[in-house]
Amino acid sequence: MEEFFQQLTNGLAVGGIYALIALGYTMVYGVLKLINFAHGDLFTYGAYLGLTLLTSLALTDRLGFAAGVLVLALMVMGLVAVLGAILERAAYRPLRQSPRLSAVVSALGASIFLQNTLMLIYGARFQVYPDNILPAATLNVFGLYLPLMRVLIVLASVLMMVALYLFIQKTKIGTAIRAAAIDQDAARLMGIDVNRVIMLVFLVGPALGGIAGLMVGLYYGQINFTMGWVYGMKAFTAAILGGIGNIPGAMVGGLLLGVVEALGAAYISIAWKDAIAFCVLILILIVRPTGLLGERVADKV
């Protein structure tokens, strides 16, 4: 039972990270009907930028742990959001009117480009987050010992998801995003600047992806320039699982996938861990392509 709860909480932490990345996929898909393949690499940029800022600015030494990490997180979110906006301008806006394949290929190209830029800057080896900065404390919750970072990640990701949900559902800008996702032309006629909505989506999505990258760095301690691909694929699976284009769906899908993967790795086979997500992906596309809470994705002729 002890191990089950450890795996469950671990799965929730990883699932929270997947959910944050999945939100970026699902928001972009909702508005542009495009799979942003470069999103996983923006997540990696979050991890690398976090490492660089953490070590070069020594934020946690100057401000203390809590304030330091908070400032760091805000900086990473801002920088990755800017990167996302640049990506949209450079790789996707010129192809707005092109066939779908063109945009998909451009997205893949952007992914490869971003990934290899990181490799040329930082080198191909794993980079390690300094472990003396983070408190190695564990919390005692009803007799279970949980690492502090795990609890913080679950709390932070849930907090951000709730904030995003309120932003999308309750504010005027959120309404504009939802309107543009339903029908761009109608939204334009209602006086919504769709280009600005798209830009906004490419700021919010990458910001969440970037913070997820920082979390992975803080949680696992080591990062690699190719990790965005695996995390991106899994987060995409989470987005499909919940129903792509659907924001609560991405949250549910992410947490669910994280838990399934952690339990699968613990009780089935650790060597097949990465295959579990892909099997879930294929199964869901065959059995219920709309996802748990989502729209239809397969064309019926």
Partner 1 sequence: MKPRLKWLGAGAFVALMAVAPLFLNAYQVDVLNSIGLYALLGLSLNLILGEAGLFNMGHAAFYAMGAYTAAILNTRYQIPILWTLPLSGAVAGAFALAVARPVVHLRGDYLLIVTIGVGEIVRIALVNDVFGITGGANGIFGIARPRVFGYVIRRPDQFFYLIWGFVALTIFLFLRLRKSRFGRALNYLREDEVAAEGSGIDTAYYKLAAFGLGAAWAGMAGTLFAAKMTIISPESFSFWESVVLFMIVILGGAGSIAGVLLAAFLVVGLPELFRELSGARMLVFGLVMMVMMVVRPQGLLPARGHRFSWAGPQKGVER
- Point out which residues bind partner 1 (CB under 8 A): 35, 90-91, 94-95, 98-106, 108-117, 119-120, 229, 233, 236, 240, 271-272, 274-275, 278-279, 281-282, 285-286, 289, 297-299, 301
In the complex, minimum distance from the CB of residue 293 to partner 1, in angstroms, rounded to a whole number: 17
Helix/strand/coil (H/E/C) assignment for every residue in 158-217: HHHHHHHHHHHHHCHHHHHHHHHHHCHHHHHHCCCCHHHHHHHHHHHHHHHHHHHHHHHH
Closest to partner 1 by CB, 119 or 173: 119
Euclidean distance between the first and the last CA atom of the chain, given in angstroms as a whole number: 49
Beta bridge partners of 146: 139
Judged on CB neighbours under 10 Å (0-12, 13-18, 19+), 218 is buried
Of 207, 263, 254, the closest CA to residue 78 belongs to: 207
Closest to partner 1 by CB, 147 or 243: 243
In the complex, minimum distance from the CB of residue 125 to partner 1, in angstroms, rounded to a whole number: 13
Closest to partner 1 by CB, 7 or 106: 106
Closest to partner 1 by CB, 106 or 127: 106
d(CA 179, CA 175): 6
In the complex, minimum distance from the CB of residue 26 to partner 1, in angstroms, rounded to a whole number: 14
Closest to partner 1 by CB, 126 or 145: 126
Strand 144-147 to 138-141 pairing? antiparallel
Closest to partner 1 by CB, 63 or 285: 285
Q: Which sign does the torsion angle of CA 166, 172, 173, 177 carry?
A: positive
CB contact at 8 A, 17 and 212: yes
In the complex, minimum distance from the CB of residue 138 to partner 1, in angstroms, rounded to a whole number: 33
In the complex, minimum distance from the CB of residue 286 to partner 1, in angstroms, rounded to a whole number: 5
Closest to partner 1 by CB, 6 or 116: 116
CB contact at 8 A, 80 and 209: yes
Amino acid in the structure at residue 158? V
In the complex, minimum distance from the CB of residue 284 to partner 1, in angstroms, rounded to a whole number: 10
d(CA 168, CA 239): 17
In the complex, minimum distance from the CB of residue 142 to partner 1, in angstroms, rounded to a whole number: 37
